[in-house]
Structure 1
Amino acid sequence: MNIFLHELKANLKSLLIWSGVIVLLIMIALAKFSAFAGNPDMLAMLDSMPPALLDALNMRAFNLTTLSGFYGLMFIYFGLMGAMAAAMWGSEVISKEERDKTVEFSLVLPVSRSRVITAKAAAALINCVAFVLITWAISLVGVRSYTPDPAFYDFLVLEMQAMLVIELIFLALGLLLGCAMKQYKFSGSTAVGIILVTYFMSIFSTMNEKLDFLKYFTPFRYFDAGLLFRNGKLDGLYLLLSAGIIVVCVAAAYWIYNKRDLYI
């Protein structure tokens, strides 16, 4: 419990920073939406953009003059930020012990390495849940002036659920990298690199039908905002695939961390 509480306190500053960034993003997005709200003429500007680019950004899947449509467009940015925050939290909970030269203190505690990982991962998980709840709460407050319909609230719930699953995937991946990489300095940057690669894979798979198979390798395609809006539910196949990735990454992280030599 002491490790868990210590980790929560240590990560509080990072959570506040990421929360500040997401709040700023939502405020900017809603300020831009004020120009689109109920104004079909604003959509004419999109006609000059290449169709492939519109598809890549999911801009043709929604009516951007509606709140649900605009939030559908913004979902990829919420997911991208959540993925980066989760990956950094996951990779740093272990690697920072070696970076800050405190790993020796952790080793002399009367607890196993598995318990150390569990406590630290649980603290990172709390951060992920808090980040989603903050995004959700700020969104609810920010859209009140537009008097959303019930369909928007249902769609927002789906988006937040999908955002949490994306976070859990990259939290598990970050945890694995933090436990596995001997060069602790590179675990965070490697995690961010993987996120960017999978993000661009999602764009390329949308722009070219021949690359559609890439959707199975990028979590950003598991929860397409357009499909969420039309189907009204998360895809069961991708939920199972997400669960498999999370379980494999977490299990591998425990196994590797219990076997590897730590740098004191």
Structure 2
Amino acid sequence: MNIFLREMKAYRKSLIIWCIGVFALIASGMSKFETISASGQSLNEMMSKMPKSLQTIMGMGSLDLSKVSGYFGFLFLYVVLMATIHAVMLGSGIISKEEQDKTTEFLMAKPVSRNAVITSKLLSAVVNIAIFNGITTISTFGYLGLYSKGESIGRDIVILMTGMFMLQLIFLLVGTVTASAGRRPKSASSISGAVLLATYVLATAADLNDKLEFLQYVTPFSYYKADRLLSDGGLSPVFVIISVVIIAVLIGVTYAFYNKRDLNM
């Protein structure tokens, strides 16, 4: 419990900054929706003039941008990128920071096992991303409620935020695996960030080329795309099962590598 509270305190300021950032992103994004809607311009017509490839890269898909839920689906890609970057940096940092800060000896001197240490750190990290997700959800309900004009948005928001939380968990654990397996603590964040970028590029490639559609099973970003979640009206059971398997494997790998590694004092 002491380690859990120690980690929560250590990442308190960082969490506040990230939460302010995502709040600002949603606020600025939705204010543009209000401005364009008030001008009488059709968002769907404006975006349809863009090249198909650019529409795909921007995460538009089949979203109806005249609806507030569809517009947020377009904004959702950027919210997800922010959430996953936060998660992967948190995951790598919470494991490697003891070696970077030269506090490993202090931590290992405590009468706790390595499993207890990693469990406390993982729980702290999960609480951090849950708070981030909660702030994002509250902000989304608040701003979409202002512009919904009677449109039912509650279910859509819950679906999108659930999908985002699954992505947060996956990339949090990508970060912990990278930090636990690597021998250079300082490079953990950059390596895990590169993995995140690579999976995003693969998801975009799968959308751009039908021949690469099989890649959607390789990259988690394809599992929880806004247009897919909103059009299907829920999470895909197949992708949820794949996500749970990935999460379970990454947790096991994190424990295995952390228990075997030589920690730099």
Supply the distance in 2 between the matched residues of 1:42 and 1:260 (Cα, whole angstroms): 53
The one-letter code matched in structure 2 to 1:238 is F
Pick closer, same or farther for the CA change 1:248–1:42 going to 2, 3 Å: closer
Name the SS for the 2:235 alignment partner: coil
Conserved in 2, the CA contact under 8 Å of 1:33 and 1:65?
no
Q: What amino acid maps onto 1:101 in structure 2?
A: K
Q: Distance in 2 between matches of 1:10 and 1:103?
A: 15
1:57-136 paired onto structure 2 within 5 Å:
57-136=58-137
Residues 95 and 179, structure 2, Cα contact 8 Å, conserved in 1: yes
Q: Is the 1:155–1:229 Cα contact (8 Å) retained in structure 2?
A: yes
Cα offset for 1:216? 1.2
Query: Shift in Å at residue 60 of structure 1?
Result: 4.2
Q: Give the CA deviation at 1:187.
A: 0.5
Contact 1:202 1:221 in 2 (8 A): yes
Say how many residue pairs are matched: 264
The SS at the match of 1:151 is coil
For residues 124-149 of structure 1, what are the alpha-carbon distances to aligned partners after superposition, in whole Å with 9 as ceiling and x for unaligned?
Answer: 00001000000011112223322454
Return the alpha-carbon distance in structure 2 between the equivalents of residues 150 and 67 of structure 1: 8
Q: Which residue number corresponds to residue 30 of structure 1?
A: 30
Amino acid at match of 2:22: I
Cα distance in 1 for residues equivalent to 2:90 and 2:31: 30
Normalising by structure 1, we get a TM-score of 0.95
Structure 1: gaps of 5 or more residues: none
Distance 2:212 2:36 in 1: 32
Cα displacement string for residues 195-245 of structure 1 (whole angstroms, at most 9, x for unaligned residues):
111111111110111111111111110012112112211011111111111
- Name the CA shift for 1:169/1:120 in 2 (closer, same or farther; >3 Å): same
Gapped regions of structure 2 (runs ≥ 5):
none
Task: Kindly state the Cα deviation for residue 116 of structure 1 after the two structures are TM-superposed.
Answer: 0.3
How far off its partner does 1:41 sit? 3.2
Contact 1:37 1:67 in 2 (8 A): no
1:216 alignment counterpart: 217
Shift of 1:36: 3.5
Identity of aligned pairs, percent?
37
What per-residue deviation string (whole Å, max 9, x for no partner) do you get for residues 12-64 of structure 1? Answer: 11111111110110011011111343745343332331112213333241121
Q: Answer with 142-151 or 189-198: which moved more.
A: 142-151
Counterpart Cα distance in 1 of 2:202 and 2:194: 12
Conserved? CA contact 2:60–2:227, under 8 Å = no
* CA–CA distance in structure 2, aligned partners of residues 163 and 171 of structure 1: 12
